[in-house]
Amino acid sequence: MRFRPSLGVMLWLVILMSAASAGPVDLAAAEAQFRKSCGTCHVAETGAGPRQGPNLFGVVGRKAGSVDGFKYSPALVAGGSGIVWDEGILDRWLADPQSVIPGAVMLYKQADPDKRKLVIEYLKTRR
Residues near ligand HEC (CB under 6 A)? 37-38, 40-42, 52-54, 56, 59, 64-67, 72-73, 75-76, 80, 85, 90, 93-94, 104-108, 110, 119
- 8 Å CB contact between 93 and 119: no
* Nearest to ligand HEC of 30, 80 (CB atom): 80
The minimum distance between CB 23 and ligand HEC, in angstroms, equals: 23
* Nearest to ligand HEC of 30, 59 (CB atom): 59
Backbone angles phi, psi at 99, to 5 degrees: -75, -20
Amino acid letter, 82: G
Crossing angle between the packed helical segments 27-38 and 113-125, to the nearest 10 degrees: 110
Distance CA 21, CA 78 (A): 41
The minimum distance between CB 40 and ligand HEC, in angstroms, equals: 5
Helical ranges in 48-112 per DSSP H = 74-80, 87-95, 97-100
* Nearest to ligand HEC of 8, 47 (CB atom): 47
The minimum distance between CB 21 and ligand HEC, in angstroms, equals: 23
The minimum distance between CB 25 and ligand HEC, in angstroms, equals: 15
* Nearest to ligand HEC of 30, 56 (CB atom): 56
- ∠ at Cα 99 (94, 102), nearest 5°? 110
